[in-house]
Amino acid sequence: MQVRKLLMISLLSLTFLPVSASAQSWFVSPFVGANFGGSASFGDFPDVDDEVERRLDFGATIGWNPNVVGFEVDFGFSPNFFEDTAGDREFDFGESNVTTLMTNVLFSAPAGSGVRPYLSTGLGLIRANVDDGGALFDQLSTNDLGVNIGGGLNGQFNDNVGIRGDVRYFRGLEQRDDDDPLEDDDFADEDFGFENFSFWRGTVGLTFRW
């Protein structure tokens, strides 16, 4: 509900922006929002498939967008990501967090308008840290390849300051192979690992262009 309110406020704000703004190629956009719709299955525990509850997310996106095609680097951090999962079979986690770092290709409406819808997609790192609350395993971490795809609206108050609303889907690509002795992962020595890890993220933030 809070994510929906943030996005609605962003959309309403965009309706009051000027109709044109000079193109500024580089931008940085710090953001705050929440994860939602997250889920994962857990390695050799196939019956444990928890839905992850909504969690705060914050970070920043920096990129280059001179006209229709550009690029961006997106960094996000979500503390306590796996705490108090909401699936049918509860898995008791302690402290945890998820970090994402993605490099994306960016497609947007041409420069020169006050409101520019955009799409972006790419790949990068999804890092999960988990501290077991039930003493089943020690503190563990994974560094997995992941993809993301999303879109939203950019609006400019003036040439240098604007607002950005973004909705994005993340999914991990790694598959665990406990029989592979060369697998470089802290989970390799445990019968435990994230499979089918995915979540959505909705954010809003100011945008600074130069």
Residue 87 lies in a domain: yes
Taking CA atoms, 94 is separated from 136, 138, 195, in Å, by 11, 11, 19
Q: Is residue 86 part of a domain?
A: yes
| pLDDT attached to residue 196 | 75
Kindly report which listed range (49-58, 85-94, 106-115) carries the lowest average pLDDT score. 85-94
Lowest mean pLDDT among 22-26, 64-68, 162-166: 22-26
What pTM was computed for the model? 0.77
pLDDT at 63 (0 to 100): 97
In a domain, 210, yes or no: no
The domain total for the chain is 1
The answer to whether position 26 is within a domain reads yes
Within-domain flag for 111: yes
pLDDT at 52 > cutoff 90: no
**Averaged pLDDT for residues 140-165:** 92
pLDDT at residue 128 in the model = 86
Q: How confident is the model at residue 179 (pLDDT cuts 50, 70, 90)?
A: low
Average pLDDT of the chain to the nearest whole number: 77
% the chain with pLDDT above 70: 63
Question: Could you tell me the residue range of the domain that residue 163 belongs to?
Answer: 2-205
Query: Phi and psi for 178 in degrees, rounded to 5?
Result: -70, -15
**Any idea what the CATH number is for the domain that residue 44 is in?**
2.40.160.20
133/10 Cα distance (integer angstroms): 38
Q: Taking 70 as the threshold, does the pLDDT of residue 5 lie above it?
A: no
Average pLDDT over residues 31-36: 94
Write out the chain in H/E/C secondary structure: CHHHHHHHHHHHHHCCCCCCCCCCCEEEEEEEEEEEEEEEEECCEEEEEEEECCEEEEEEEEEECCCCEEEEEEEEEEECCCCCCCCCCCCCEEEEEEEEEEEEEEEECCCCCCEEEEEEEEEEEEEEEEEECCCCCCCEEEEEEEEEEEEEEEEECCCCEEEEEEEEEEEECCCCCCCCCCCCCHHHHCCCCEEEEEEEEEEEEEEEEC
